[in-house]
Chains A and B, each alone.
Chain A
Amino acid sequence: MARTSRQHEITQLLAEWREGNQSALDELYPLVYDELHRLARRYMSRERKGHTLQTTALINEAYVRLVDQKNVQWANRSHFFAISAQIMRRILIDHARRQAYAKRGGGAQQVSLEEAATVTPDVSAELLRLDEALKSLAAMDPRRGQVVELRYFGGLSNEEIAGVLQVSENTVTRDWNMARAWLYQQLTGSGAN
């Protein structure tokens, strides 16, 4: 079955990436992107009104579907989550860009109405600003950048993040506090240098 061979392929790529092969990541990326994107949309159409998109559940499902469970190691799982966090970020940013572009390009008035009211341009604008700020943070402090990505985009708990990054849970908590305060400052403009 096609699926079995794909599972195998992804498991293989994950292992290679873990061993330091960066080109494995390049191959892995689009495969996981497609799967996560498909799942995310399916989840959303199922729960249109509920608006609860359980990121972890979603990534878990992608993981189960994509990775060959027989040859699985825990490290694989945490790596999969790490890359999925990155990809979720990409998916959302891609959507936000497209929406922001459509708003500008379409020349449409930014109008909300009833259900459409929940779709406001600010969601995309805010997300794009956050993404930019997060890039600056990661440039200054890569680990804190990763903590934010894993937690906010990947939906990982502090404990899971500690496992992925091989640091203590306390460190994750501290990193998060600092990173969040800084991002807040950037986004609200309260700490312009």
Chain B
Amino acid sequence: MTPERWQQISRIFESAILLDNEARAAYVANECGRDESLRVEVEKLIESHGQASAEKFMDGVAAEAAASLLIIDEDEQRPPVLTKGQQFGSYVILDALGAGGMGEVYLARDTRLDRTVALKVLSSDISQDKRRMQRFRQEAKVASSLNQPNILTVFEFGEVDQLTFIATELVDGETLRHYLHGKKLKLGEILDISIQVLAALDAAHEARIVHRDIKPENVMIRRRDHVVKVLDFGLAKVTEKRASTMKAEESEAATEVKTAPGLVMGTINYMSPEQAKASGVDERTDIWSTGVMMYEMVAGKIPFSGPTTSHTIVQILEKEPAPLGNAPAELQRIVTKAMSKDPDERYQTAKDMLIDLRSLKKRLDVQAEIDRTSSPEINVPADDANLGSQKKRILVLALIAIAVVTATIFGINMWRSRTRTNIPAASQPPAPVPERTLTYWITVQKFRNGRPYQKPFTQPGEMIFEQDYQIRVHLRSPEPGYLYILNEGPASTEPQYVVLFPSSTANNGSPFLAAGQRVQIPEQSWFEFDRQQGVEKLWLVFSEDAVAELEAVKQFASKRTVGLVTDPEQNKAIQNFLSTATPMPAAEKSETLTTLKATGKLLVYPIRLEHH
């Protein structure tokens, strides 16, 4: 761009942003005349201006945004306590990952269970500090008592050579605080994150644990699949009874931890009115903080914020937050309810709020679908690809609907058993068979008015759908191995997959099948597919070893994503894997089932599903 052009653009831009929308368009059009590219440049810049303002882009000062860079650098100057390759109890140190307020974090190998963990070692001077030790111990104790996919898993807490350590699962990701920075979250994303946070809280609350410090800094988003992990149960308290308020002295002690002189442990912006007043704290405090966090995700700013701590507290106690202008009314209602000053007027449990959010999400998805498909039905669809992608969405919605219901009914316990029964790699039975065999059959159930109608029947091989058919898939193999089942919608430009197996409801969530073990998916209900014409596929992948390329799909198999792979990169990766897989296995069809045989360790086979 020439400096002249730049000056020209900036002159029009500067005047234009002072005008209201209508006058602005006219002004820009007039100023740019026939220079179309000039107009485009100016308009893009005006739009960026709007977004930059809304997102508070560069609103602060660089050193604040990048303060962590200065911290880590300082920590690097201190030699780490442990060095690479060093044996530490049953762990081998692989690398130093960095340092936090409590000590050093290492990447380490647990030699007993042969898994890689994050090992947080408390620095020796802090070990002397009773208060911090207490916090550290508590964090470990509380977190390890919770077993939920959205809560960071604590493997071990112990001491080696007088160094206290905590071993946890590895999470490669960023905090919601950082994720929010300079990014505009989409509504769907806001709902996904909030739903996962609430699922974590629901599990914690069920165990009578109140987190008490829910804020974006304590919510981590895993990079590869956007699974949310709630961190830092260091301030969490075990409540006396479910839904009962903590005793006054307990809560005072808690406040003291928070506000010990010279040590501000966190921001007060997410603090509930009852916390601010240092009165009784219970589960509903977490509901409040989640509401504040949701408000921030929607509005791009926190609802209560004053120049000083006392100003902020006054706002928390007295001020009603500004309405969330553009958000759907139902979302506003949910957030407002969560942020009621009076705990009795809030959601009383995380589960209630979770249910409202899930049904909102479902409704928005359906609405989006209606919006998308209503017009093309009147206009003749331009091409098959277009039609395909619409069909795909309907299928996906049907699956979501089923899975949401399933997850709501069976979900919580299933997720727990799933995490517990993860089969460690070491226990795989060796099976050096150069041939893979997989037998499958499909049960078809006819439905009428949403209820099963007539007896289900079984059929092998390909599937031709008639109206109101729903299916189950059954599989079995004489060999042990890892099974993955993916549904690929009718051909469209962007591949999209739904993970049917591993699932949160079948086989305890594990992809591993023992020799001869029969699985039925879904375990509790039926798969409903869309009713428009077209062909889609059910990909069966059965492998001697866990399939690295499909490891990530396990995450989608769980409750929240209900199988739908949303990341386009991920979908492409799956498509790549499936399309480059070994030659088609031989298929022998009997009257009731199909047996697939492939040479090698990997079997990949697409079952055709036709809709008429």
Contacts and interface: CB of A to CB of B under 8 A. Distances in A.
Nearest to A113: B118
A116 B14 contact: no
A96 interface: yes
B98 A119 contact: yes
Interface stretch (A11-19, A45-53, A70-78): A45-53
Contacts of B105: 111, 113-116
A126 B179 CA distance: 12
B69 A92 contact: yes
A112 B266 CA distance: 19
Given A98-B73, A123-B69, A181 B266 contact: no
Contacts of B264: 49-50
Interface stretch (B57-65, B246-254, B368-376, B404-412): B57-65
Given A53-B67, A88-B62, A118 B48 contact: no
B14 A124 contact: no
A89 interface: yes
A55 interface: yes
Contacts of A44: 67, 70-71, 74
Contacts of B206: none
Q: A interface, how many residues as a size bin?
A: 35 or more
Interface in A22-52: 40-41, 44-45, 48-52
Interface string A153-193: 10100000000000000000010011011111101101101
Contact of A41 (B45, B61, B70, B102): B70
Contacts of B358: none
A170 to B, nearest CB: 10
Interface in A113-157: 113-120, 122-124, 126-127, 130, 140-141, 148, 151-153, 155
B71 A45 contact: yes
Given A116-B97, A153-B63, A178 B10 contact: yes
Interface stretch (A1-9, A60-68, A102-110): A102-110
Contact of A89 (B13, B62, B71, B217): B62
B412 to A, nearest CB: 25
A140 B105 CA distance: 44
B97 to A, nearest CB: 5
Contacts of A174: 14
5 contacts: A114-B231, A119-B98, A123-B66, A181-B49, A182-B45
List the 4 closest A-B pairs by CB distance, nearest first.
A115-B100, A181-B49, A184-B52, A95-B69
Given A112-B171, A114-B231, A124-B69, 10 more contacts: A44-B70, A96-B66, A108-B96, A112-B98, A112-B173, A120-B68, A123-B65, A152-B62, A184-B57, A188-B51
